[in-house]
Amino acid sequence: MFDGVHLGHQKLLSILKEKAKQLDAKPVVITFDKHPQLVVKPELYDKIFLLQTNEERFAKLNALGIEDIIVIHFTKEFARKTAQEFLDELIQKYSPEYLLLGYDNHFGNKSSEEFNNLVIKSKEKGLILERISDCVFFKDIEVSSTQIRKALAKGEIDLANSMLDEEYIISGEVIHGNKIGKTLGFPTANISVDKHKLLPLYGVYICTIEFEDIEYSGIVNIGFRPTIKNSPVTIEVNIFDFNKDLYQKKIKIRLKKFLREEIRFENLEDLKKQIEVDVENAHQYFN
């Protein structure tokens, strides 16, 4: 899945690009259009959350020098393919010279004996099949999409960003909200995101906002807004020094620092005072 395209994935891509240079070939990434469990375990449909949308994932792969991405439509039929059938299909369609897997990446049968047989058979067909032997660590933590999700769930945005090698991104389309931020003197843009996008610990974050290739500073509140009765989960961003119309426009938010968890205030006046503190903390951060 390459979810997050984190430091571990980046090591894999670095090795791949070096091999491609040696073979005078093109580095290509093979991935799926959706998480396999969405297909093989449909009962988990509402419980699977990913670090990136496809658009975010492909953009990061492109930024890391991967121009060609093979996206496989994952179906129940595809899930039933054996490893050898999958390899034969790749060889027939794309004539690869070299295929590299992550250290914990498998297809078909998961036994090492089966993999060794695949290596031998692939070599007979002109394909070098390899799997890297180790993972990447950051501060004694094995870098993985799972560990990044755990860090985000705790609001440990610095740790998550370090393992991702970039700020955590939330992107989406600006939709109409209830205008409460505007009445408080802090107008916000409400963002609609993909239903499988993982949201971090609910609270307020310092962030930057990208719109039409220009970066702005701001703060974003993610969560239920406990001061507002019957509020759904929202993503509201206050963009500093900004007065353009954003409705139905796409923006990209990069989380830089966790400020605080959500707090329930007795009234909107107390909420306004806290937002003033949050904004001031953000200005100090950027200064």
Q: What is the pLDDT of residues 38-52, one digit of tens each?
A: 999 999 999 999 999
Q: Is residue 79 part of a domain?
A: yes
Total domains in the chain come to: 2
176, pLDDT greater than 90 = no
Provide the β-strand partners of residue 32.
Answer: 72
235 contacts 193 by C-beta, under 8 angstroms: yes
Q: Which of 83, 118, 134 is the last residue of a domain?
A: 134
The token pair at 85 is: 């059938």
Q: What is the pLDDT of residue 116?
A: 87
CATH code assigned at 210: 2.40.30.30
Each residue of 84-134: pLDDT tens digit?
Answer: 999 999 999 999 999 999 988 877 656 666 888 899 999 999 999 999 988
CA pair distance 228, 226, nearest whole angstrom: 5
CA pair distance 42, 268, nearest whole angstrom: 42
Q: Which of 108, 134, 160 is the last residue of a domain?
A: 134
The one-letter amino acid at 213: D
Do both 122 and 52 map to the same domain?
yes
List the single range of 3-12, 42-51, 181-190 with lowest mean pLDDT.
Answer: 181-190
Q: What is the pLDDT of residue 257?
A: 98
Do both 188 and 118 map to the same domain?
no
Q: What is the pLDDT of residue 214?
A: 96
Whole-angstrom CA distances from 71 to 36, 77, 113 are 13, 16, 28
Per-residue confidence band for 179, with pLDDT thresholds at 50, 70 and 90: low
Mean pLDDT of 220-249: 89
25: left (phi over 0), alpha (psi -120 to 50) or beta: beta
Do both 42 and 117 map to the same domain?
yes
Range of the domain at 41: 7-134
